[in-house]
Amino acid sequence: MRATTDNLFFRDKVELRKKFLPESKTIHVLDCFYGSGRLWNTIQSETEDKKILVTGIDKKRLPGILCGDNRKFLQVLNLSEYEVIDLDAYGNTFDQIEILLKRKYSGVVFFTWCKRGPGPYPVAVGMTGYHIRSGDIDLAADRLSNYFHKRSISFFDVIRVETVGGFNFYDHFVM
């Protein structure tokens, strides 16, 4: 079994976020998969003209962050306090995106969708019962685009990475 890592395509994730940060001098970020905080700490160290204040959520109990299921926090936090919500998971974040849509969140959302090995796609992407095969990245990209289009969300600068037995998508959108 392949180990998960916070370092997979790290520079791509940093650069994507730096490129699409809101214009304001102080930015409040809700990082729903905080981990060690390395991603936003790196962005802050490379973005001297902005102050980035991060509220972290993680399933691991760590000092100074919210501990628990981020879907529960997304349902009760005042999301209007955050200009950015970051959904950088090891799998998919469609449950979290659906919560943001239902709560009518307004701001920038960064997300990651990783798909590994045989197994079903998320129901939200409209591929119920469909299993990944080699070369499916184009079909998955099409389904992902349709998912956002149906929700009237434009999507920009997708980074597509085909990996052994799967793929990763890194993107952002504005709600």
For the chain, what are the domain ranges? Answer: 10-174
d(CA 130, CA 108): 30
pLDDT mean across residues, the chain: 80
- Listed as ranges, residues in the chain with pLDDT below 70 are 1-8, 115-137, 154-170
What's the confidence (pLDDT) of residue 138? 73
Instruction: List the structure tokens of 66.
Output: 């919210």
The residues that bridge with 55 in the sheet, in sequence order, are 30
Superfamily of domain 10-174: Vaccinia Virus protein VP39 (3.40.50.150)
- Note the pLDDT of residue 2: 41
Which residues, other chains included, contact 29 with Cβ-Cβ below 8 Å and sequence gap of 6+?
40, 52, 53, 54, 55, 82, 83, 84, 85, 86
pLDDT tens digits, one per residue of 38-49: 999 999 999 989
Per-residue pLDDT tens digits for 55-93: 999 999 988 999 999 999 999 999 999 999 999 887 778
Model pLDDT, residue 31: 97
pLDDT at 30: 98
The CA distance from 24 to 50, in Å, is 7
Helices (H), 5-161: 10-19, 38-46, 70-76, 94-102, 137-150
pLDDT confidence of residue 134: 47
Q: State the pLDDT at residue 165.
A: 60
